[in-house]
Every structure is written in C-alpha cells, then in structure tokens.
Amino acid sequence: MAKVIGIDLGTTNSLVGVVGLGKPTIIPNLMGNRITPSVVRILENGNYIVGENAAKALITDPKNTIAGIKRFMGRYYNEVMDIVPTVPFDVVLGRNNLAMIRCHGVDYSPQVISAMILQYLKTSAEAYLGEEVNQAVITVPAYFSDRQRQATKEAGKIAGLEVLRIINEPTAASMAYGLDRKKNETIIVFDLGGGTFDITILEVGDGVFEVLSNGGDGFLGGNDFDNRIVDWILEEIKLEHGVNLSNNLLALQRIEEAAKRAKCELSELSQTQIKIPYLVKKDGDFINLDLILTLTKFEEICEELFERLIRPCEQAMKDSKLFSSDIDKFILVGGATRMKKVSEIIQRVFKTKPSSSVNPDEAVALGVAIQSGVLGGDVTGILLLDSTSHTVGIETERGITTRIIRKNTTIPTKILDIFSTLLGNQTSVEIHILEGEGKLCIDNRSLGRFILDGIAPAPAGVPQIEVTFDIDANGILNVTAKDKGTGREKSVSVKASTRISDSEVEVFSNILDRNAVSIQKMQLK
C-alpha cells in the first residue's frame, strides 16, 4: 500500500513527514534539509524554483519571488490590504475580488503558488521513499476559515495530491507530544508561527486527542514582529541620513533579512548589532548601516503585537471552562515562540512555565505524519477528536445570524434546525450561510447563498424548512435545506467564492506535472 505523507504547510517554512516502523520521521527535501523555506521564485519562462534556492532570490529578484503566500490563501483582495504594502511582489485584484500574485505579467492564485510548494514536498517524499505518493494529510492554523481550508485542499489537488484530511496545527503538535502517553493530561498548545497565531486546549492520553477549545489571530505571526523592526530601521535611517528607503525594493529586502536575524538573536541576547554595508548611495557615497537594537527597545516597538496574544488565550480558557490550575502542560510551537516576551506573557496569564519537551519547529510536522500513518494504516489506537474553530449559521429576520453549529463543537458533526417563511404565500427562500461569532450578519463572513424553491403557498410562519449543517472531519461545511411539506430539498456543498475553476485546476496541474522533473534538476544544481 502506497504511503500517505503528512505536510506542515507553513507561512515561513514547510516540512513533510511519514511514519516508518511505527514512528514519525521528517523527510529531507531534495537539498537534504529537513526544513524547506515556503518560498517560490517564478522564472521568466514559467518554470519555478522552491525552497532554499528560491529564498536566495528574495534579495536579487524580489518582484518574482513569493514568500508568506499562506497569508493570502482563501482571502479576498480587500482582506489582505494591510499585507500588500509589506511585500515586494505585485498583489493584484483578480476576478471576483480575489487577491492574485503577478509575476512576469502572469497572474497566479495563492492556491497555485502553494501547490508549487506542495509538489516540491511531494517530489522530495517520492525521492526519499522510492515510490509514487498521491495522498496526504495537510495542516492548517486552527483559526483558518472554511474558505481557507477549501483553498488548502484545492492547492493539494493542483499538486497532484488527494488530501485525505485537513487537521489543525496545534492538534497535530499535541499528537507529537502525546503519542506514547498513557496518563490523561490537559494541555495547551501555543502556536506562534510566521504568519498566524493559534491556541488550542486539549485532553490527551491513551491514544485519544480531544480538542476542548480553539482561539487565535489569523494576522499575527513572526513576520509582523520582523516588520516592526524593519519600520524602526527605516525610521532610524531617515533620522540619521535623511533618506526614505520604503520604496527601495533591493534595500528593503536586505533590511528585512537583517531584521529577521536581529529578532532571532534577541531570543538569546540582551542586544544585537544590525550591520548592512553599502546599503544605498547618497550624494555619491554609500550609507553603511550600523545600529544597536536592545531587547528592551524591541519589546517596546512590538508591545501592541505582544498584547494581541493575550485576548485569544483568555477566550480559549473561557470557552474550555477551565482554570490555569487545571492545565498539566503548556507546549510551545512555532519559531516565534522563542521570543523571551512570549514566555513572560504565558507566565503572566497562565501562572505557569511552558514546556520545552517538543521541538517547536518540527512538532506540527511530526504530528501530521502520525495522522497520515493513522489514515494509511501504519498507526493504530489513535482517536482524534478535533473541533470547529468558528460558529456557522444562517441569516434570519432583520439581518440577524442564527447560529446552527457553535465554535468548539467536536467534528465531524451534523445539526439541523427548523425555520419558516417571513411572508405569506412565499414559494421560495434564500439560505444565506455565514461564519463568525457576530450577532449581526454584517459582522460575519459570507460562505454562500442558495435558493430553495417549490414551497407550497401558505400563510407566513406555516411552512417548515429543515436546514441541516454538516461539518466533516476537515472542518468543511455542507448545507441542506428541505421543505417538510412538499419534500422539496436542495443540498449544497459550500464552495468558497475564492475557489478557482476545475478547468484552471487541470491546466495548472498539467503545468506543475511538466515542471516536476525540472524542479528536481534545478534544486540539485
């Protein structure tokens, strides 16, 4: 039986794993490294490079080198407006208000860029295993919406992978921690990656992993802390040299690389030196950047970001109906958790010290490898009880969202409710499906609409419309509406309006297939 692989598709880095001899293993990529930068460089001839070699072009070819694509997955252009000014590549408004990436005059959806990363990981796994790989389990942030989950599955399809399951990153990390533990424990997984923040509270033990609550922030991650350092450096340059480099792409990329290094060094040191020789010319002479960034200053310029970590933590605890004293272990996941202030915040909010028992960079990949082993038949005795990250419901009278399935409900789940008509002799109803915690429809995300017609004319409030919401193990929603009087029924698998067409999936799949061999050759050069 062919192996099922597990993929941690990250904002900054991605990993692929598999189960061998009952244990999860990280698969090295084609360069021999365990961690692959989530970076894609589009070449002028339409080919592309993924990973380490692509990352080298972040400075030399920033307009055609894409990093952090995960933040664009399943999002409209107006949703990513805050990100657009911080990236060097062109983000354009596509059809249906989608955010698209333009390289060499060609527009690429975030799903296609992500598929390039996935196919590289697939190719790496095939080289390691010596056999073809067609099935995978892929992780997503716990706070990903229905649209973002669908976009991730779509990226897998373009890459030639049947995505057997989508699982939440903190849940995967908990599996890496609790695989061999017999004693029941209540744990918190605090996952601060490059682009997203999740917190998940679970009960683990004897092969059972049950999610009690989820929280997070889909626009908070290590990249945001990097950007605050970049802004500080730009301001210092402006003050000292009178030069505004905010539109100088080459200088910006060098500054961003220096900012990332500084952030990492401040995880161990009380201050760091930021040196960039020959940064830019002014009046015929080069400006050589030489700054000292102290830990105190770093925490000051990032204070608002650190404070944003607190509310999701408090909400997750409230949703779980637990107290800090009920928590047995606190697991850190994601490279950004190495920042000293993160541990300070955890100790302040939860009155406990986080555990260092798992590798924050590899925990998610090891966990998703375990789940891939479960679905592939290589691992037994594991039961994963994940939960919904958002409330879903429908629009009712006066623009109110009536909740059908509430946040943190164990999945898969199916719940039905009965509604009726608002007007007399109404022969059709529109079902408007929404996602979010707001009471008003305007405060929530629209997942789609459909019409149930053929209702027998009757006074208002008489017809009985049975609406069923069905969320599968991937957290993806299906909705059915049925008129109990006539038996008229309409069932809809909610399709995100950000999705690309089946014909486009086929076109890009063929392009990726043709490039598969050249990917290997380019990576090995």
Catalytic residues: 8, 70, 169, 191
Instruction: Give the residue among 495, 472, 497 at the shortest CA–CA distance from 163.
Output: 472
**C-alpha distances in Å from residue 268, one per residue of 141, 271, 276:** 27, 9, 21
Sorted by sequence, the CB contacts under 8 Å of residue 164 that are 6+ apart come out as 4, 135, 136, 137, 372, 375
User: What's the alpha-carbon Rg for the chain, to the nearest Å?
Assistant: 24
Name the strand (E) or helix (H) holding 223. helix 222-241
Instruction: Give the residue among 241, 16, 239, 24 at the shortest CA–CA distance from 133.
Output: 16
Name the strand (E) or helix (H) holding 512. helix 502-524
CA distance linking residue 226 with residue 149, whole number of Å: 26
Tokens read off for 134: 């067609």
CA distance linking residue 184 with residue 208, whole number of Å: 9
Contact 444, 395 (CB under 8 A): no
Exposed/middle/buried for 206, CB within 10 Å: 0-12, 13-18, 19+? exposed
Question: How many alpha carbons lie under 13 Å from residue 396 in its C-beta half-sphere?
Answer: 17
CA distance linking residue 188 with residue 323, whole number of Å: 12
Q: Print the SS3 string covering 387-404.
A: ECCCCEEEEEHHHEEEEE
Name the strand (E) or helix (H) holding 407. none
Distance, C-alpha 258 to centroid of its chain = 25
CA distance linking residue 186 with residue 344, whole number of Å: 21
Exposed/middle/buried for 191, CB within 10 Å: 0-12, 13-18, 19+? buried
Q: How would you label 45-74 residue by residue, b for 16+ Cβ within 10 Å and e otherwise?
A: eeebbbbbbbbebbbebbebbbbbbbbbbb
